[in-house]
Amino acid sequence: MSLSTQQGDDEDNNILVAKVDNARNISNILKAIHFRDTATVFASSNGLKVTVEESKCVQANAFIQAGVFQEYAIRQDSATFKVNLTVLLECLTIFGSSSAPGMNTALKMCYAGYGSPLQLLLEEGGVLTDCSIKTMEPDEMLDFGFSSANVENKVIMKSECLREAWSELDMTSDVLQILMSPDKPYFRLSTFGYAGSIHADYPKDSDMVESFQCEQTQTNRYKLSLLKPSVKALSLSCKISIRTDHRGFLSLQYMVRNEDGQVSFVEYYCCPDEDVEE
């Protein structure tokens, strides 16, 4: 970490300044995509998009819109940098992770452009913490080429019904198979582990399913180890949208409501396992 002592209040150097009254609104969302150490931050006038990738097969994005911040100012069109997400989260939660209602950690985030560290100023109850996190050259992000036009099947359901099933997925199975069909069983999650096969069926007329659009039956398998981390996003979210396109690529989108009722989105993309059964 750089030992810069610059307080970051020097507006002239910072191309990005963002302030929020409750750092948990940021840290909770980032935890939902924290399955690797490093993340790429893409800041634009819309807000922040933080991306984490794994094995060139799965990508998770967290969108924190400008509206979530009490103050958000960016000088350039956009800025991109890579940062250690583990360290960033530790700094954001430096005052502890307990969510006592009265005590909020205020955050001010500053970035002075290419080569500068990401500066965080956190305050809680009169105690100040100043963090300076080194930024790195951003990697090229995968483009899954997932477009709404190619979506074949889409289901939107409430997260609570999936939460328990997802967290208890049989990890002895290599794959998670997702079947979406206009006929029974409509939506089925399956694993094939040592104990045998386990299926969870969610019919389209269940009151947990808000929207169900399936043109044709699709069965796709994805590496369970890659998808399992999405359980964090699932537990934070209130709604999930599951979409697959004509290639079998999977898009999971989670709607997350933070403590102040603001909505942010987290998204996971995953490519299917080699031997796809259609």
Partner 1 sequence: MKCIIPGTNIKVFGKAIHSLSKIGEELYLEPLEHGLALRTVNAARSAYGCFIFAPEFFYHYDDSSGGTEGEMEDVEETFKCKIQMKSVLAVFRSLSTLERTVDRCKITLDEGPRLVFQLYCKHSITKTYNLTFQECETLQAVFSKDLCPNAITAQAKLLTEVVQNFQLSLEEITLIVSPEKVILKNYVESEPDPSKVLHTQMSLAAEEFDYFQIGVDTELTFCLKELRAILAFAEAAGMPLSLHFETSGKPIVFSLEGDPAFDANFVMATLADLGSTQGSQSSQQQAINRPGTSMAGTSKTKRTVKKTQQQGSKRNESDIMENRRFQANRQPNRSCAGGNSFLPMDSGFDDMMNDGMDDVIAMGANEMEAAMSQETEQQRNGTSRHEASPERSASPEIPLELGKRPRTHYPDEKPTSHDQSHDDVSMVMEEEGEEEEVLVPGTPPSKRFRSMFFGISSQSQATQAPAETADTAEVLCEDTDDED
Contact indicator for 241, 252 with CB cutoff of 8 Å: yes
Q: Which range binds partner 1 by CB under 8 A, 7-15, 97-105, 136-144, 195-203?
A: 195-203
Interface with partner 1 includes 183 (CB under 8 A)?
Answer: no
Query: Does 202 participate in binding partner 1 (rule CB under 8 A)?
Result: yes
Choice between 75 and 188, CB closer to partner 1: 188
Count the residues of the shown chain that bind partner 1, applying the rule CB under 8 A.
20
**Of 145 and 203, which has the nearer Cβ to partner 1?**
203
**248 with 266: CB under 8 angstroms?**
no
225 by DSSP, 3-state: which? Answer: helix
Q: Of 1, 67, 97, 199, which one interacts with partner 1 (CB under 8 A)? A: 199
| Nearest of 271, 29, 43, 6 to residue 138 by alpha carbon | 43
* Measured distance CA(276)–CA(261) in Å, rounded: 40
Binding segment (CB under 8 A) for partner 1, from list 40-48, 102-110, 200-208, 252-260:
200-208
The verdict on 142 binding partner 1 (CB under 8 A) reads: no
Closest separation between CB of residue 263 and partner 1, Å? Answer: 24
* Residue with smaller CB distance to partner 1, 113 or 185: 185
Q: Which is nearer to partner 1, 66 or 200 (CB)?
A: 200
Q: Which of 170, 174, 213, 235 binds partner 1 (CB under 8 A)?
A: 170
Instruction: Spell out the residues 6+ positions from residue 120 whose beta carbon is closer than 8 angstroms to its own.
Output: 88, 91, 92, 107, 108, 109, 110, 129, 130, 131, 132, 133
- Strand 263-270 relative to strand 250-257: parallel, antiparallel, unpaired? antiparallel
| Segment holding 268, helix H or strand E | strand 263-270
- Based on the shown chain and the rule CB under 8 A, indicate whether residue 161 belongs to the binding site for partner 1: yes
Binding-site member from 71, 90, 139, 164 for partner 1 (CB under 8 A): 164
In whole angstroms, how close is the CB of 242 to partner 1 at the nearest point?
A: 15
CB of 165 to partner 1, least distance (A): 7
**Cα–Cα distance measured from residue 211 to residue 81, given in angstroms and rounded to the nearest whole number:** 37
- The single residue listed with the structure tokens 């399992």 is 228
Q: Which of residues 207-226 bind partner 1 (CB under 8 A)?
A: 207-208
Choice between 11 and 201, CB closer to partner 1:
201
Residues 237 and 224: their CA atoms lie apart, in Å, by 20
Contact 191, 198 (CB under 8 A): yes
Which residues are at the interface with partner 1 (CB under 8 A)? 161, 164-165, 168, 170, 185, 194-203, 205-208
